[in-house]
Amino acid sequence: MNTADQYLKAIYLVQETEDGPASTGAVADALDVSPASANEMIGKLEERGLAEHEKYKGVSLTDEGILRAREALSNYCIIERFLANVLEVEEFRAEARSLEAVIDDTVAERLDTIIDRSSECPDCFDAETDACKYLAEVESENPAD
Amino acid sequence: MSVGQRVTSDHQLARLLQIGVVLEEVVEARSTQHHREMDGDVDAEIEALLRHAAEESADHRDRLEALIGELDAESVSYEEIEALVEAQYGKTKPEDFDGVLYDQLCNEETAYKFYDDLIEAIEGSDSSFSIDRDRVLDTLRGIRAEEEEGVEEVTAIMERR
């Protein structure tokens, strides 16, 4: 997943959580980057018509930005689900975060042919738990020893 | 969340190699399934392509597994991935020969992109691994070159038909 898509996904999730525009600080925190880096990338997303930034309020995604963010989120769900269900990785959240930059959309699509994903995806992704709600449910039913 | 393409640890490298193994196993299992589905109703050219794809994937898997073993990690069993492919195959199977060729093209292109990104991520990192970095890169570059040939091979067949 390229850097722009990682930003779109992060902005989308912050917007969902805050139910409004995402502050640059919150986006920077979500991506563990400096506010200056976040500002720079948000500027690029604005130039591409994917986001709109309003001073003192924050950044909001355009319809096109939302579409791409949702695709990126679906691919992220595939990576998490693949790690949790196929490779049985307990720390699937942390590993998905460390791998997402190296896993391209086409690779995620291929991995999707061996996992069982809800048709609701990515609406079932819960930003609070950083995982699909169904995946989090299974995890709480079968906690790691 | 980490922004940027880098491979920084043995653990991360082993995980990515495991993903490579799974992608190869998906190719192998899907090629075998396509072959089975066609049940004799397949022309020699596609049959040879599917057989070659399955053999090549098995060979790539062996080469990746050798590296994974040296990183003290475990590979992913073919039987497990084959069962998952079979379970989901009904939803994703191609409808005709063109679909089979397109699926093969996706397999080869996906694998090429994966190895290309992985090589770039290793080259972009100055971390050292417990196995020889050049050997990892040589292995991955060799596999990538074969995936590239695979893309060309399928494309040539698609253009002829």
DSSP 8-class letter at A119: T
Asked if residue A75 and residue A40 are part of one domain, the reply reads no
Cβ contacts of B6 on chain A, cutoff 8 Å:
101
- Shortest CB distance from B23 goes to which of A10, A30, A107? A107
Please say whether the beta carbons of B115 and A106 come within 8 A: no
Q: For an interface test with B, which of A85, A93, A102, A107 has the most B Cβ atoms less than 10 Å from its Cβ?
A: A102
Mean pLDDT of chain B: 88
Share of chain B above pLDDT 70, in %: 95
Q: What is the mean pLDDT of residues B62-71?
A: 94
Asked if residue A96 and residue A51 are part of one domain, the reply reads no
Q: What is the ipTM of this complex?
A: 0.85
pLDDT band at B24 (very low <50, low <70, confident <90, very high): very high
With b meaning 16 or more CB within 10 Å and e meaning fewer, what string describes B53-85?
bbebbeebbebbbebbebbebebbebeebbebb
Give the separation between CA B41 and CA A115, rounded to whole angstroms: 29
Asked if residue A76 and residue A134 are part of one domain, the reply reads yes
Asked if residue A89 and residue A29 are part of one domain, the reply reads no
Cβ contacts of A14 on chain B, cutoff 8 Å:
none
Asked if residue A87 and residue A56 are part of one domain, the reply reads no
Q: For an interface test with B, which of A5, A87, A99, A113 has the most B Cβ atoms less than 10 Å from its Cβ?
A: A113
Q: Are strands A131-132 and A51-54 parallel, antiparallel or unpaired?
A: unpaired
Q: Which residues, given as ranges, of chain A have pLDDT below 50?
A: 145
User: Which of A1, A139, A98, A118 minimizes the C-alpha distance to B7?
Assistant: A98
Which tens digits make up the pLDDT trace of B89-123? 888 788 778 888 899 899 899 999 999 999 999 99
Q: Which residue of A has its CA nearest to B109?
A: A106
CATH code at A19? 1.10.10.10
Three-state helix/strand/coil letters over chain B = CCCCCCCCCHHHHHHHHHHHHHHHHHHHHHHHHHHHHHCCCCCHHHHHHHHHHHHHHHHHHHHHHHHHHHCCCCCCCHHHHHHHHHHHHHHHCCCCHHHHHHHHHHHHHHHHHHHHHHHHHHHCCCCCCCCCHHHHHHHHHHHHHHHHHHHHHHHHHHHHC
Boundary of a domain, candidates A66, A90, A117:
A66
Dihedral of the alpha carbons of A30, A36, A37, A41, in degrees to the nearest 10: 100
User: Which of A140, A23, A123, A32 minimizes the C-alpha distance to A3?
Assistant: A32
Handedness of CA A94, B131, B119, B67 (dihedral sign): negative
Determine the pLDDT at residue A136.
Answer: 74
Q: Is B1 part of a structural domain of the chain?
A: no
Total of domains in chain B: 1
Cβ contacts of B2 on chain A, cutoff 8 Å:
32, 97-98, 100-101
Total of domains in chain A: 2
Determine the pLDDT at residue A98.
Answer: 86
Tell me which amino acid residue A24 is.
T
Question: With 50 as the cut, is the pLDDT of residue B159 above it?
Answer: yes
Q: Is B84 part of a structural domain of the chain?
A: yes
Please classify residue A55 by burial: count the beta carbons closer than 10 Å to its beta carbon, then call 0-12 exposed, 13-18 middle and 19+ buried: exposed
Give the separation between CA A20 and CA A39, rounded to whole angstroms: 18
Cβ contacts of B109 on chain A, cutoff 8 Å:
106
Asked if residue A59 and residue A95 are part of one domain, the reply reads no
Q: Which structural domain, as residue segments, surrounds residue B130? A: 10-160
Question: With 60 as the cut, is the pLDDT of residue B79 above it?
Answer: yes
Report yes or no: A103 at the B interface, CB cutoff 8 Å.
yes
Cβ contacts of A37 on chain B, cutoff 8 Å:
3
SS3 A49: coil
Determine the pLDDT at residue A7.
Answer: 95
pLDDT band at B40 (very low <50, low <70, confident <90, very high): low
Q: Which structural domain, as residue segments, surrounds residue A19? A: 3-66
Packing angle, helices A24-31 and A3-18, rounded to 10: 120
Q: What is the mean pLDDT of residues B121-138?
A: 90
**A87:B76 CB<8 A:** yes
Determine the pLDDT at residue B35.
Answer: 80
Return the higher-pLDDT residue of B5 and B113.
B113
Asked if residue A25 and residue A8 are part of one domain, the reply reads yes
pLDDT band at B1 (very low <50, low <70, confident <90, very high): very low
Asked if residue A55 and residue A29 are part of one domain, the reply reads yes
pLDDT band at B4 (very low <50, low <70, confident <90, very high): low
Q: What is the mean pLDDT of residues B14-23?
A: 94
- Shortest CB distance from A104 goes to which of B26, B107, B114? B114
